[in-house]
Structure 1
Amino acid sequence: MCRRRGCFIVLEREGEIIATGAYKPKDRHTAEIKRIWTHRRLRQQGLAAKVVQELERRAVLAGYSHIYLTTGFRQPEAVKLYLSQGYEAQFDLTRDPEEYSQPPYDGRLRFTKALAVSAYSHSA
């Protein structure tokens, strides 16, 4: 069970860890997603999307209404994943991501999402 102080999800198949993800509190209303990972052999199969969706569901059940996350400027697959899940980029998508590795930036690409609380209100 996940709580307001955080959540860590592990997907297993035949005893092998195949995907993980977590959230932690960022502020009173916002959970921060961290550590989305998928086994190298199983990428591009929708596992990361399932982890993100489950983290969102559990964050709503824990009382959060927003999600925040960051990814690196050299992770185009992650950018594509978050955009496909309805996240809003807090940076200019038309710029070369490499630009965000230079000052005044820190190399992190930020995303936010308002959660559809009513969509999860009756889930267990």
Structure 2
Amino acid sequence: MDTLYFFLIILGAIIVYSVINWLYQRKIVKTLTEEQFREDYRKAQLIDVREPNEFEAGHILGARNIPLSQMKVRLKELRPDKPVYLYCQSGMRSGRAAQFLYRKGYKDLSHLQGGFKKWSGKVKTK
């Protein structure tokens, strides 16, 4: 019985953490549909936060690859005074990248709803 209570407490903590994280992310980053993303992404810094092998397999035309795993060391490549449009494969990594950038002082952050797998626009492959 004690094991069941322990499991339920852990499960509850995970759910509470996930909800808080989701609410925080909604506050700091705008989630844009593909149409909204297309309207302004050429005026912003378009960043693909996927790993280099994913980027080379296909990416949105005009995007720069700054993987989430390298974001901390490559932060100087981004200007805090310009909007930053982020995307990844599904939207999870771009949300985490937005949280990191927000803590570093970037305020105009947007990411693509559904990520690259939902993108139907122009794509470049290597």
Larger radius of gyration: 2
Give the helix-richer structure, 1 or 2: 2
TM-score, scaled relative to structure 2: 0.30
Higher RCO (CA-CA < 8 Å; seq separation 6+): 2
